[in-house]
Amino acid sequence: MVLRREPTARQMRLAVELRRLRDAAGLSAREAAELIGAGRVQISHIESGLTGVSEQRLRRFASHYACTDDEFINALVALATDRTRGWWEEYRGLLPNSFLDLAELEHHCTYRWDVDFLHVPGLLQTEGYARALFSRRVPELHEDELELRVRHRMQRRAIIERAEAVLYEALVHEAALRIKVGGRAASLTQLARILELSEADHVTVRVIPFELDDFADITAAMVYAGGPVPKLDTVVRDGPHGALFIDSEAQLDVFRTLFRRVEAVSLDPKRSRDLIHRLTKEL
């Protein structure tokens, strides 16, 4: 069997969850291999995302690992058997893999939350705003790559624009709305876009106002993507070497709590729209 050179984040998530199930059962890789009549190396390849796993074998794993959570097992089967080749594949080899992994994660998510303090979240960005952001990157991007990144970001917006759009909530700090990215005209267009989207039933935009006191301890920017079951939720954060995908249950609980804390101190949707309207008049 040909091994994958670079497993996607989605393939790695399945591998990680299978390894977690085995660890929870207290079995070694050799013991797991013996139970299903496979070699230890094959188990290693599966748990490293280098090879896939069939539905039949996955269900045998779950049985031997004494996992009785049928909803979770079915979600893992869906991960294992999915053969979707989405629009993001056209960028493979042209953009960093994390761009493709994020787009694939969003495509399959059941809901999306964003928290941002310095920039408008990607799903709300206009083309002009995105281009201005990417043009300021250091080191400077070649024109072709800049345009690829802008086009990729615009295509990501499909999850909140398509017929079966996901529920989306964005918590955006007032600072991000006041910073003039791309100049006054681009900022006005961007604010108008946010107002337009915030009127949709499936989109909620809340502004974190400057006036809050003692807010520094909960300033955790994040992308939170809901999975088919809570155990398969994912948080994405920017790290020093690119996007960091977070999936441990303990960390997910922390970020759920942080999101709810930020949400609780943010303005409600109507007051948020009023503030954005006021900002457009001040520009």
User: What is the CATH number for 49?
Assistant: 1.10.260.40
Domain co-membership, 105 together with 203: yes
Whether residue 19 is predicted with pLDDT greater than 90 in this model: the reply is yes
> How many Cβ atoms sit within 10 Å of the Cβ of residue 270?
9
Same domain, 14 and 120: no
Query: Which DSSP state fits 201?
Result: T
pLDDT in tens, 216-275: 666 678 999 999 999 999 999 987 667 899 999 999 999 999 999 999 999 999 999 999
pLDDT at 213: 76
Give the C-alpha separation, 51 to 30, whole Å.
Answer: 17
Query: What are 176-233's pLDDT values in tens digits?
Result: 999 999 999 999 999 999 999 999 999 999 999 999 876 766 667 899 999 999 999 9
Question: Is residue 86 situated within a structural domain?
Answer: no
Nearest Cα to 228, choosing from 25, 98, 54, 80?
Answer: 80
Residues 25 and 107 placed together within one structural domain of the fold: no
Between strands 242-246 and 234-239, the pairing is: antiparallel
Q: Are 260 and 220 in contact (CB under 8 A)?
A: no
Q: How many domains in the chain?
A: 2
CA 149 remoteness from chain centre: 17
Is residue 94 within 8 A of residue 148, CB to CB? The reply is yes
Q: Is residue 27 part of a domain?
A: yes
3-state secondary structure of 98: helix
Rounded Cα–Cα distance for residues 107 and 170 (Å):
17
Please provide the size of the chain in residues.
283
pTM: 0.94
Residue 141 domain flag: no
**Domain ranges, residue 13:** 9-81
The tokens 């009127």 sit on which residue?
A: 199
Whether residues 222 and 258 fall in one domain:
yes
Rounded distance, CA 143 to CA 137, Å?
12
Which one-letter amino acid corresponds to residue 151? R
